Amino acid sequence: MIKKLLAAAFAFGAALGQASAQSLTELAKAAESKPPVTWYESSPSEQTDKVINAFNRKYPGVKVRHTRLIGGNELAVRAVQEMQARGYTGDVLTGGADHTWQLKERGYLESVNWASLGVPKTLTPSPYIMATAASVYVVLWNTNKVKDAEAPTTWEEVLSPKWTNRMGSWVRAAAFSQLAATQGPDTALKQLNRYVALKPMLFKSTFPLAQAVGSGEVDLGIGFYHSTLPPMNAGAPIKMRALDIVPMHIIYSAISKNARNAQGARVFLAWLATEEGALAYEDATGRGNPLLEKTKTAQFIKGKKLSEWAPEKSDELGALSEHYNKVLEAGAGR
Amino acid sequence: MVELRDLWLTYPGAAQPSVRGVSLRVEPGEFVTLLGPSGCGKTSTLRSIAGLETPSAGAISIGSADAFNATRGVDVPTHQRDISMVFQSYAVWPHMTVAKNVAFPLEVAKRPMDEVRTRVAEVLQMVGLTGLADRSATQLSGGQQQRVAIARALVRRSAVMLLDEPLSNLDAKLREQMRLELRQLLKTVGLTAVYVTHDQEEALMLSDRIALMSAGKFVEVGTPLDLYLKPRTLFGATFLGAAEVFEVVRTQGTSIETKIGHLHVETATTNFSHVGIRPEAIRVRQQKSPHPSANQLQGTLVSAVFSGRQQQLIVQLDAGRQIHVLAEATTIFRAGESITVEFPVERLMGLTEEASPD
Amino acid sequence: MSPRSLRSVFLQRAWLPLGLLALLLYLVAVPLALLLVSSFKPTGLPFDEGFSLQNFAIVYGDAGFYALLRNTLTFALGCTVCALVVGGVLAWLVERTDLPFRATARVMIALPMVLPPFLLAMGWVLLASPRTGWFNQLAQDAFGLAQAPLNIYTMGGMIFVETLALVPSVYLILSNAFRNMDPALEEAGMTCGARWPAMVRRIFIPLLSPALLAAAAYLLIVGFLVFDVPGTLGMPVGLFVVSSRIVYLATDQSGGTSAYGLIAAIAVTFLVLLLALAWSYRRLTRQANRFVTVTGKGFRPRQLRLGAMKPVAVALVLLYFVLAVLAPLGLLIWTSLTPYLASISWDMAGKLTLAQHAAVFSNPRVGAAAWTSMWVSMLSATLVTLLALLVAWTVLRTRALGQSGRNLLDVLSFMPLAIPGTMIGMALIYMYLTLSFVPIYGTAWILVIAYVTVYLSFSTRTASASLIQLHPELDEAARTCGATPAMTVRRIVLPLLMPALAGAWIWVVAHVMRELSTALLLQGDDNVTLAVQLWSYWAGGEPSKAAAVGVWLVVVMTVITIIWQRLSARRDVVFSG
C-alpha cells in the first residue's frame, strides 16, 4: 500500500516537474538537434507548406516534413504497417476520429500531457489525441438555379421533395451517421431514407460535388465547408450556409510511440492548438478548428447545434456508417 | 566427318519415337543424303546433328569429338558445334544486307574485319552473288535468298554442312539448275555434307551415298548406283525410282516362281519376298514370240504415251497383271498390239521386305 | 542414359533462366502471397493475428455483390467487344490498306493513351451530361429538343468512354500482328475462291488468334478492375461496379482502416478468372508454329486498295481522333482556362484566364513531379520491356527449366494483371519496410519496381505475340552460325522484334505517366509523380490546375510519341525496302 502511494507520489511529482521544467522553448531547443518532425496528413503539400512556413516563423529551428497520405484509411494502414515492420512511424499523425482512435487501441500512440503544453482542455477528449480541425457539413447551392431565399436553412427543408433530381451528395452518408449522434439512429435513418428518395447524384468526394454545384450539374448539395471554398473563391456562382444542426468530423492529431522527434512533435501540436496555428492551418487548407472561436469555421457555425459522435464510440459509428452507406448506394440507382 | 551411333529420338509427348536406332558414318568430304517420305525422321536426324533437337539415346560425333553422348551426359550446344546449316525456309535475316548476313558467322567468331571482308567476297563470288552484297535481304528473289543461305553456310568452313531440303521451295527449272551448282560447289570446296530431301532424283544426282529412311530407321544405305540398280529391299526399289515388283511364290535355286510366272535370276538366294525390275530395263518386241525363252512373257499393249525422251507403255500381261514399261521413243506402238516383254536376267532385283541390316 | 549427368549439364547453362524465374518469383509471387494471406486475415493486414474465412463470407455472401458482378460483366464485355472492333478496324486500316497519312494516323491513335482516364471521363461529362453537356446544349438549341439527346451517365456512356481509352492498347497489339502477316497465306485463301467473310472467319481470325486472344484477355481483366471511368460516369447515378467496391473498401470503409482483407477476397476471383484466361491462351497457342508468319522470306504485307472507300476510311480515323482526343482535349484546354469548373458558354468565355497555367508552371513541385514522372516512366518501360523479351524468349524458344518451369514463368508474368495496383503497392511497402537495408521505401525507386510488376503482363503478352510470329529458323540459323543464345537475342531477335517492343515501350511510358492508384499509395517524401500532382489539384478542389497539368502531359507525350513513330518508321523501311 505504501509502495503504491509512494509510486503515485513520484509519478505526480515527475509530471509536475515535467510541466514546469520543459517549457515549449526548451522542447523546441531539444527538437532542433533531432531529425525533422515527420507529419502524416492528407492535405496537398502546397497547402501544408504554408502551415509549416508559418510554424517556422515562430520556431525557426524545428524542421517539419509533411508526407501526404490520401485519406484517413490509408494513413491508418500506413501507420500500422510501419509500426509492425520497423517499430516507428510518422511523429505526428493527423486523421479522423475513427482512424486515430483505432491506432490508439493498437497501442501505437503516446499519451501526452496536453495541459503542460498549453493546449485547452476542450481540444483533448483523451490524452492521446488533440482536435486540430474539422470537416463541417454545409448546404451549398448554385445561385443561378436556386434563389437564396429558397435555399434550405434546416434539415427538414433539405429533405423537401421539391429537390428531387436536383440534389448532389457525397457517396458516403456520413452526414446522417453524424446526425444520429444527436437525433438518434432511428430518426437519422428516416431522414436518410427521405434524402435517398430525392435521387441525389453521388460524388466520390465533396470536392467534385462542389465543382458540380458550381457548374450547374446539380442545383444544390450537402458538402463540406472547406471543399466548397475553392470554387466559391474562384468565382463560381455558389453560396453555402450551415443548417440548424451541424454534423461534422473533427480531425485529430496524435503523437506516435517511438517518435524520432517527440519534442518537436509536441511543439508543433502545441502551436496548432493556438489561435495563430489554427488560423494558419485554416488559411492554408480551408479546414478550421471549430473549438477555437477565432477561426472562420467556428464563426460559421456559431450558435448552431453540433452533432458528432465521440471518439470512443468509433466502433459503433463504424457499423452505423456502413449501414447508412449501403442505404444511400442502393437508393441512388435509377 | 560425322558419326551417328544408335541414335534414338522421341519428342516429348509423342507416342512413338521419330528416330529409332540410326547409325551412320560420313567420311570427310563425303556427300550423304538422307532420303525418305515425309515423316520418316530424316529432318529430325539432321536437326539432332545440329543440336537443335536433343536425342533420347545414342551418340553423335562431329570431327573427332563427341557432340552428343547420352550415356556420358555430353550435349554440346548448337553454337559450339563445328557445323553450318542451310534451312528450307532460307532463314535469311530481313533486317540485314546480303553481306551482313553472310558475314555473321565470322563476326560472331570475332574474326578481323579485313579477313571477314575477303572471305565474304570470296564466298559471294562462289555462289554468283557478287554485286548484290549491299542489297537488303528482302529485295532478293527466292533463288537469290537460297544462295545467300548457302554462302552463309560456306563462309564458316565448318567440318560438316547440313542442308534441310534447301531446294524444295524453288520452281522446277531453278531447282534443276541449283542442284548441279550446289554439287559442284561442295565438291570444289571439299566439304562434308549431310543433305535431307524427299526428292529422289535430287538424291541420285547429288549424293556420294544415300541413306534411305522410313519410319525412323535406315532401310538401306549405299551409293546411288547400287541403290538404283541393286536395291535389296522392297521399299528401296519402289521409293527410289520406280519398279515393277512381283511376289515370290516359291524359290528353287535361281528359278523363282512368281505370281506372273517363272523367272530366272543371277544369284540364288532363298529369302526374297519379291522380284523386281526397273521399267526402263524391260525390253519389248512387237510380236508374239513363238518360243518364249526364259524371262519372256506375252501380253497386249494397253496404251503408249510419248513424253519426249521416252515412251511410257502399259502392257497387260497374259499372266494377268498390268505393268509399266519405259521404252525408247523411236518405235511406234499401237494399242491392242501383241507384245513380248523380256526381263533381262542381270536387271532382275531380288527384294526383301525387311530393312536390310547395315 | 544417365539422367543425373544430363541434368547437371543443363544446370550449367541454366543460370540465366533460373535467375529470371527467381526474379519473377520475387516480383510477382510475393505480392501474390501477401494478397492471399491478407484475404484470410480478419483485419486484412497480413501481420495481424487470426485466420478466418470471414472476408470471403462477407464478400460472397452479400447479394449486392452479384448485382455488382453483373454490372461489371456487362461493362467489361461491352468494352472488350467494342475496343476489339474499333481497335481492329483501325489497325487494319493503318497496316493493311493504302490509307493516306499513315504515320500521322499512328500517332493520333496512340495519343489517347496519355490522358488519365478520369480526365477523359470528366471531359465527356462536360460534353454529354444531360444537364450541362455542351453537345446536348448545341443539339437542343439547333433542333429545339426538349430532352437532351445524350446521357453520358449510363452503361452505354461508360462503355463508350472506356472503349476510347482502351483502343490504343488494342491497336498496338493488333497492328503488330497485322504488320507481320504473310500475304501468301491470304492469297492461298483467295485462290481457293474464298470471299471476304470466309477469309475473315477462316483465315484472318485463326491466324491472328494469339494476338486477338491476348488483346481480349487483357481488355476483359482491365474492364473488370478499372475504376476511373465507371467511378466518374456510373457512381453519380448509382451504377456501381466491382472496382467501385474495391476503392470504397480502400478509402471509404468505416472502421478506421482500409479493408484490405475484403479487397483481397475480391481479387482472388479475378486471379482465378485470369488463370482460366491464361490457360486457354496457352492451349490455343501451344502449337505455336501454326501462327508463324515472319520467316526469312521477306515480304511486304498485302495492301488493300481502298479506292472509293478511301474518304470513308479517312473519315473513320478522323472520327475516332475527334472523339478520343480532340473533344476531350478541347474540354481539357477549356477547363484549364476557366477559373472554376463550368461547361462551355459565352459567359464563361469571357472569364477565361491563363492564371492556372501560370500557377502550375511557377509551382516548383510540378517541375519536380514532371522530372520524376519522366525518368520513372522511361526506366520502368525499358526494364519491363527487356524483362518481357527475356521471359518470352525463355518460354517460347529455349528448353531451359523444363516444360513446367517455363509454364510457371509464363503464368507468373501474366498474373500481375489481376492484382489491383493498390495491393501490389501494399506488398511493396511491406517488403521494403522489412528489407530496410534496401533503402528504397518512400523513394521513386519503389515506384519503378511497382510499375515493372504492374506492366509486366502487357509487355510480356506483346513480346510473346510477336515472338510467336517470328519463324524459329531465323534464330536457329544464328545458332548454327555459332552465335550464343545471348548473341542471337541481341543481333537477330531484338532487331526483328523492335517495332513491337518499341510499341510496348511507349505504351508503358504513357501508362506510367498517367498511373494514379499505385503512385498515390506509395507516396513518400519525394516521389510525387505528375499524375499524383494532377490528382492532388483535382481532389483538392482545383480542377482547372489539374486540367492545365493534363494539357501539358498530353503535349509531352505527343512529342515522345512522335519521336517513337519516327524511329519505328525507319525500321519499316528496312523491312519493306
CATH of the domain at B260: 2.40.50.140
Number of Cβ atoms within 10 Å of the Cβ of C73: 15
Instruction: Specify the pairing of strand A130-142 against strand A220-224.
Output: antiparallel
Q: Which of residues 133-172 of A touch C (CB under 8 A)?
A: 171-172
Judge if B254 and B292 occupy the same domain. yes
Q: CB neighbours of C508 closer than 8 A, spacing ≥ 6?
A: C377, C380, C381, C384, C385, C451, C455, C458, C459
Q: Stretch C74-96: mean pLDDT, rounded?
A: 91
For residue B109, being part of any structural domain is answered with yes
- Cβ contacts (< 8 Å) between C471 and chain B: which residues? 89, 91
DSSP-derived secondary structure letter, B355 = P
For chain B, how many structural domains are there in total? 2
d(C-alpha B95, C-alpha B85), whole Å: 20
Which of A79-83, A143-147, B83-87, C569-573 is least confident? C569-573
d(C-alpha C166, C-alpha A118), whole Å: 57
CATH of the domain at B156: 3.40.50.300
- The answer to whether A36 faces chain C, any CB pair under 8 Å, is no
**CA end-to-end span of chain A:** 69
- The answer to whether B84 faces chain C, any CB pair under 8 Å, is yes
Domain boundary among B229, B263, B278: B229
For A259, phi and psi rounded to 5 degrees? -60, 145
Interface present between A and C (3 or more CB pairs within 8 Å) = yes
Probe site for chain C from B93, B132, B154 (most C CB atoms < 10 A): B93
Judge if B258 and B308 occupy the same domain. yes
Partners of residue B316 on adjacent β-strands:
B300, B322
Cβ pair A38, A67 in contact under 8 A = yes
- The verdict on a CB contact (< 8 Å) between C430 and A81 is yes
- Cβ contacts (< 8 Å) between B145 and chain C: which residues? 296-298
d(C-alpha B102, C-alpha B104), whole Å: 6
Q: Considering CB atoms only, which of C5, C297, C480 is closest to B50?
A: C480
Closest CA relative to residue B340, chosen from B325, B329, B357, B356: B325
For residue B237, being part of any structural domain is answered with no
Which triple of cell numbers denotes residue C409?
Answer: 514463368
For residue B357, being part of any structural domain is answered with no
Judge if B221 and B287 occupy the same domain. no
Residue B85: band (very low, low, confident or very high) from pLDDT cuts 50, 70, 90: very high
Report CA B118 to chain centroid distance, whole Å: 34
Judge if B148 and B250 occupy the same domain. no
Cβ pair B107, C503 in contact under 8 A = no
- The verdict on a CB contact (< 8 Å) between A326 and C64 is yes
Q: Stretch C237-242: mean pLDDT, rounded?
A: 88
Judge if B59 and B113 occupy the same domain. yes
Judge if B70 and B208 occupy the same domain. yes
d(C-alpha C281, C-alpha C288), whole Å: 11
**CA end-to-end span of chain B:** 19
Q: CB neighbours of B242 closer than 8 A, spacing ≥ 6?
A: B278, B279, B324
- The verdict on a CB contact (< 8 Å) between A333 and C239 is yes
d(C-alpha A196, C-alpha A173), whole Å: 10
By C-alpha distance, the chain C residue nearest A98 is: C256
Which triple of cell numbers denotes residue C359?
Answer: 500557377
Which of A71-75, B90-94, C197-201, C533-537 is least confident? C197-201
Judge if B285 and B342 occupy the same domain. yes
For residue B187, being part of any structural domain is answered with yes
- Cβ contacts (< 8 Å) between C47 and chain A: which residues? 84-85
- Residue C14 reports pLDDT greater than 80: no
pLDDT at residue C196, as a whole number: 67
Q: Considering CB atoms only, which of B52, B91, B105 is closest to C296?
A: B91
Judge if B322 and B267 occupy the same domain. yes
Q: Stretch B6-20: mean pLDDT, rounded?
A: 89
Boundaries of domain holding B157: 2-229
Please give, rounded to a whole number of angstroms, the shortest distance from the CA of C321 to a CA of chain A: 27
- The answer to whether A212 faces chain C, any CB pair under 8 Å, is yes
Q: Which of residues 498-517 of C touch A (CB under 8 A)?
A: none
pLDDT at residue A1, as a whole number: 55
Judge if B220 and B248 occupy the same domain. no
Cβ pair C238, C528 in contact under 8 A = no
pLDDT at residue A134, as a whole number: 94
Which triple of cell numbers denotes residue B210?
Answer: 544415300
Probe site for chain B from C481, C491, C494 (most B CB atoms < 10 A): C481
Probe site for chain A from C49, C340, C426 (most A CB atoms < 10 A): C340
* Percent of chain C surpassing pLDDT 90: 21
For residue B8, being part of any structural domain is answered with yes
Q: Considering CB atoms only, which of C131, C430, C525 is closest to A216?
A: C131
- Cβ contacts (< 8 Å) between A203 and chain C: which residues? 235-236
Which triple of cell numbers denotes residue C124?
Answer: 465527356
Q: Stretch B177-197: mean pLDDT, rounded?
A: 88
C299-329 pLDDT, tens digit per residue, is: 556 677 777 888 888 898 899 989 988 898 8
**Where do runs of H (alpha helix) occur along chain A?**
2-21, 24-32, 45-58, 72-86, 97-105, 155-158, 174-183, 185-196, 206-215, 225-233, 262-272, 275-285, 296-300, 314-332
Judge if B31 and B85 occupy the same domain. yes
- The answer to whether A214 faces chain C, any CB pair under 8 Å, is yes
Q: Which CATH number fits domain C54-134+149-293+314-353: 3.40.630.30, 3.40.50.740, 3.40.50.10490, 1.10.3720.10?
A: 1.10.3720.10
Higher local confidence (pLDDT), A52 or A312:
A52
- The answer to whether B71 faces chain C, any CB pair under 8 Å, is yes
User: Which strand (E) or helix (H) includes residue C348?
Assistant: helix C346-349
d(C-alpha C258, C-alpha B34), whole Å: 70
Which triple of cell numbers denotes residue B8?
Answer: 534414338
- Cβ contacts (< 8 Å) between C403 and chain B: which residues? 12
**What topology does CATH give the domain C354-577?**
MetI-like fold (1.10.3720)
For residue B301, being part of any structural domain is answered with yes
Which of A17-31, A100-114, A249-263, C280-294 is least confident? C280-294
Residue A144: band (very low, low, confident or very high) from pLDDT cuts 50, 70, 90: very high
Closest CA relative to residue A192, chosen from A324, A334, A326, A333: A324
- Cβ contacts (< 8 Å) between B77 and chain C: which residues? 13, 479
ipTM for the complex shown? 0.83
Please give, rounded to a whole number of angstroms, the shortest distance from the CA of C256 to a CA of chain B: 56
SS3 A138: strand
Q: Cα–Cα–Cα angle for A316, A319, A321, nearest 5°?
A: 105
Please give, rounded to a whole number of angstroms, the shortest distance from the CA of B354 to a CA of chain C: 28
Q: Stretch C237-247: mean pLDDT, rounded?
A: 86
Judge if B254 and B320 occupy the same domain. yes
SS3 B313: strand
Which triple of cell numbers denotes residue A156?
Answer: 427538414
Judge if B219 and B86 occupy the same domain. yes
- The verdict on a CB contact (< 8 Å) between C1 and B77 is no
Whether C54-134+149-293+314-353 and C354-577 share one fold: the answer is: yes
Q: CB neighbours of C320 closer than 8 A, spacing ≥ 6?
A: C86, C90, C108, C109, C164, C167
pLDDT at residue A261, as a whole number: 93
Partners of residue A174 on adjacent β-strands:
none
Domain boundaries, chain C: 54-134+149-293+314-353, 354-577
Report CA C212 to chain centroid distance, whole Å: 15
Determine if the pTM surpasses 0.90: no
Burial class of A268 by CB neighbour count within 10 A (0 to 12, 13 to 18, 19+): buried
For residue B356, being part of any structural domain is answered with no
At C63, the amino acid letter reads A
Q: Considering CB atoms only, which of A101, A202, A211 is closest to C341?
A: A211
- Residue A283 reports pLDDT greater than 70: yes
Residue C9: band (very low, low, confident or very high) from pLDDT cuts 50, 70, 90: very low
- Cβ contacts (< 8 Å) between B165 and chain C: which residues? none
